[in-house]
Structures are given as C-alpha cells and as structure tokens.
Structure 1
C-alpha cells in the first residue's frame, strides 16, 4: 500500500481532518509510531495546530481507539439479524464479524487493545469499549433466558467467549492460523467447540 499523500487543510473541521489523517497513516504504516508533527504535516496544517484539539499524541491515539470500538460495535450489530434461527447463530455471526473487522483493520484493532489505549485515562474510550463488550453480554443473557446457554455465571461465559474470539482475531491478523496446524477452517471449528461447551444439552 502506498504512503498516504499530504492532504492540505483549508477550512472546516480541523479535528476531524487530523483524525482522518491519523487513521489513514495507521492503516498504511500498520503501527502508531507517528508523531503529532507528522500528522500535522500530512494534514497540511502548522505543527502547532493539532494541540488545539489533542494535548499530546496519547490523547489522539485514545480517540482513534474509541473510534475503532464504535466501528467494531456497528460491524457486529449489523452482522446479527433478528431473523437468524438461534442465539447461537447470532453469536457466531457477531464473533465472525469481530474477527473480520480485525483482519480488515489490523493496526487499529491492535491499538484498541494496546497499552497506548489506556481506558482508565479516557472515560469516552472506556464507555465505547464497554458498549462493544455489551453486545457479547447481551447475547449471553439472551441465550440463558431462552435456554440456549448453560445457566452458569455470565462472567464465566463472557471470559471464555472473549478469550476465544479475541485470541482468534489476534492469531488471524498475525497469520498464525496455519492450515497444517489447525486445519482449513479454524475459526468456525473453534467457535463450534466453544459453543458446544456453552450450550445446553437435551
């Protein structure tokens, strides 16, 4: 992928322009080692301009992570259709959407769960992350109420589910799910194993 071109800024929403530039840099560079000075240069504004909206680079990174969680929540929500035959099917759809999002946005996904996205430092980031996690909690609660999932502590189901899905996402974007190790369809197979342990049996 080619380097993002400088995009001279003339008027309008400077904050949004800086964020868009940083997101583009993140996607191309696949890391967030850039400086506010470089973001300013590629946006076409003075070196001092970003400081009107972001006290330092860490504040900008936390905003990028917040946007990532908002987009992930939208992606997972769109993947779940009320017409799906079961809560299990909705769970699989949401999990696959999460993993797909990670594969399409690997650097952003890594940033979202990195120490540079310290959720204790930003209430809005924390809220976005918890709202996204709420999709999982909602599915687990629904599954327990309709008898699909085992009546154990939701926190235990959530921990197992999150560890599995997030782990699969990280392995996928790191290209570590090799067929010779885990077969040709590792994600569906792993989700089936997870759900077989979570679901009630007749």
Structure 2
C-alpha cells in the first residue's frame, strides 16, 4: 500500500485533480513564456509534478494547448454572455454588451486571446474547442440577427455586417493589447469603457433596427 501511494504521488496524483492543476500551470506558463516558449516539461515543473505526469491527461504539448484553448473559448463565450446579463434587454444594448465582453476578455487575457486567434499550435478542429468557439461566434450572429430582424447568415448583406462587427471588436482588442492607440490615449485614460462602447456603436448594422 505504501509503495502504491508513493507511486501515485510521484505521478502527481497528490494534487487531487491533476488535470485542473496542469491547466492552471499551463495558463501561467503561457502568460510568462508565450506559446513559442511553452513546454510540457515547464508546465509539469510549475505544477510541482514529475515530467511524466502530464501524460496521464494529455498526449503531448499540442493536446495540452488544445485543452487550454478550449478553456479560453468557454471563458470568452461566458464573458460576452455575462456582459449581456448586465445590459438592458433590447437588441442594441445586447449587441453592444457582447462587444464589450469580447474586448474586456481580450484585455484581461491577452495570452489566451492570442492562443485562440494567433497561434497554430492547438487543434482547432477538436470538438472541445470548436463547440464553445462556435457558441461565442453565435453570440455575435444572434446580436446582428436581432438588430436586422432576419437570419444574417443567409444573406450576403447580413454576412457582411457580421464581418464588419467582428472585425471592429477584434481589431479594437488587438490594437488595445498592442498599445497602438496613442491618438486616443486621453479618451481611454478618462473613460476606457465609454470609449470602447462608442467605438462598438459604430459597428451597429446599418440595415438593421436600432432599438
């Protein structure tokens, strides 16, 4: 019994939830070292387990990064939905709220945001990732649909408005993370949320409703 316990501890089972511990360590590894410097060995060391322990849950680095990207996608989706819960229940306010949630997630989690949108290392075809990622995309689609009063995915004009809205919030997030908005620095310093909100308002579908 004692030898079995020792083997389990060496494998990392003393964490109680090894998978969650590895994902938490992986997030910190990503934040500090970036995706290029990310390694299973580094994650294991950070989690305080043997270098072989991650194999109990993740086949390789790609598998772990895919799981981390899936976790990020769920948080991303929830950030937009949580923002909508705080907003008035009309199409315009809900659309703007989802955009605020999008940008706020990116600013609070730049490493995870880059992993989802700027890296080729995760397996984005994995259902664990694609399901929450698609749900996050549908928050945007449903917002445009509510403003237009139709299914925007079925019409070229509607798809163009989805593209415009997505491009605006994503580009805004990327520029804010990169610190490339010096011309609006005073506005952002005085009222960051208000400045972002006003920018998102410009993405309201022109052909749709505004209430």
Q: Deviations over 1:138-188 (max 9, x none)?
A: 111222228xxxx864322211111111111111111111126x8725533
CA distance in 1, matches of 2:122, 2:43: 18
Which of structure 1's runs of 4+ aligned residues deviate more than 3 A? 196-201
Task: Report whether the alignment pairs 1:57 with 2:61.
Answer: yes
Q: Paired residue for 1:5?
A: none
> C-alpha displacement at 1:97, in angstroms?
1.3
Task: Report whether the alignment pairs 1:119 with 2:124.
Answer: yes
2:173 to 165, 169, 172: 169
1:39-54 alignment, distance < 5 Å: 39-54=43-58
The number of equivalent residue pairs is 187
> C-alpha displacement at 1:117, in angstroms?
3.0
2:34 to 22, 31, 38: 31
Unpaired segments of 5 or more residues in structure 1? 1-7
Q: Paired residue for 2:202?
A: 193
CA distance in 2, matches of 1:30, 1:88: 40
The higher radius of gyration belongs to 2
CA distance in 2, matches of 1:83, 1:57: 39
1:146-165 alignment, distance < 5 Å: 153-165=157-169
CA distance in 2, matches of 1:158, 1:79: 19
Unpaired segments of 5 or more residues in structure 2? 1-11, 189-194
Q: Return closer, same or farther for 1:198/1:23 CA change in 2, 3 Å cut-off.
A: farther
